[in-house]
A and B are shown apart, each in its own frame.
Chain A
Amino acid sequence: MTVNRTVIAFLVFTLILASAGCTRAPQAEPAPEPSATPAPAPVITIEPEPEPEPIYPLTIVDDLGRTVIINARPERIVSLAPSNTEILAALGALERVAGVTDSCNYPPEVADKQRLGQLYDVKHTNFETILALEPDLALAIGGHPEVVSRLEELGITVIAFDPGTVAAAVETIERIGRAIDAVEEAEQLVGELRARLDRISAIIPSDRADRPLALFEIWPEPLMVAGPSSFVADILETAGAINLAADAVDPYPMLSREIVIERDPEYVITTFPQTVEDVRAGLREDLAGTRAAIAGQIIVLDQDISSRPGPRIVDAVEAVARALYPGRLP
């Protein structure tokens, strides 16, 4: 049964992708402060711009626990994940990006960047294209350790980040900013993002019993939802909802539809517009009778925004919080 073998292979890879956001690597130590490097004694001159501090070589501990030394300011960066591409763009470093994956579609300016294909796994990654770009830094994510070690073997400086929560995603922006010498841009962006998150946490009732019960649909058929300690579940938590599937065994469980009906979510968050139509057309026995369906509280999020631990993750949290607490957020 060739088809089954293919299916299993792809399934495994999909699960690896899915778990990329949830297995939380030990938080890396912050990289040494740039100022820790002995800087030449400041000499007062009339130069209009001060000499930039020599922050490189820079030592970074990434989320795979690897200690990486970046020798010079990266000028040819390859981004191996859409979230990394979005972060680089938000830090104003897009002109230093040499290549992106086929999935990178935001911001629109990345359309004319060199494509690197899909990063499924080490067997299906096009290393030749990556090498041909002569990158001085590859930015990976946590889900592909084999790709990372292969790139390392090929002599490419590579760091991987694997944020498991919304807060960690924001922190990752800071860490990437440090790695690519965009510290000021990162500080400003992260400051704004944290301020927006603070505004949300200010409106969430302190008593958990006052927060609404919500289900985050990852996949409609078979029903797969955000379970405990998944990245997506943290969107729910950060937006002030109680996750209906918080007691499941794995981060992205195939949840029993009986459980959904019994627990009766007040809100359903999904990335499939089809779900709203299907509920309306009576095709979704599991959701049709829930409070969420009856009150029309099925919230559709853009999958790219809600699944990528980039700057736009705060948009996703805000969208959910606005729906849960209408009128409370500007």
Chain B
Amino acid sequence: MDNWKAHIKSTFEEIDSANNVSASELNSKWRIVEAGIAKKKNKILWIYSGGIAAALVCIILLALVNRNNSKIIQNIVQTKSEQKKIVKENQLYKKNNSEASKQEFLPFQKQLIKNTDTNTSEKIVTINPIQHKIDSNNTPIVTETITAKISTRTKKPKRNSVFLSNNSKKSSENKVAQNPKIKLSDLIDLDKNGRHANAQREDRNIIKH
């Protein structure tokens, strides 16, 4: 190393090591450093706790999904077995149509739950096969309900046929009297002779007799 370089370096090192800082200044600066280090620790804690919380939520969600799936499967199995049971019991009911068997098996109770789709005629109907089957201890055995989708035909409303009674004829005549622009023939089914259809029918009956 060059002399001048070594000289300058040693001079600076002496200056640096001779530098004094008061205890209060050191303390205040240390507090800043300590706070800076604690910030990092807090950040790490937050990251860890956040990760743990996220993992817990995932585990809970997975458990819920699994539970629901197992329930659905269980329900499907149960409903199938119930359906089989019901079919068998129906057959039994038909066979043993005696009074004793009537007491043992009661007909299904039908209950309308809700109409899911108003546009179609399909309705969800719960067939409640609460079969008051009595076991050996004379206590009723209640089976679970099953839900089935059945289609029901809604009756079309009949067209309003024009049938005028004597009263209605009178009311029509009154309407004509109130409003002279309306003709009576517009309101009542009259023949060319101006007679009402009922009167014609009566005439025809008289002729037959």
Indicate, yes or no, whether A interacts with B: no
Chain B interface residues (CB < 8 Å from chain A): none
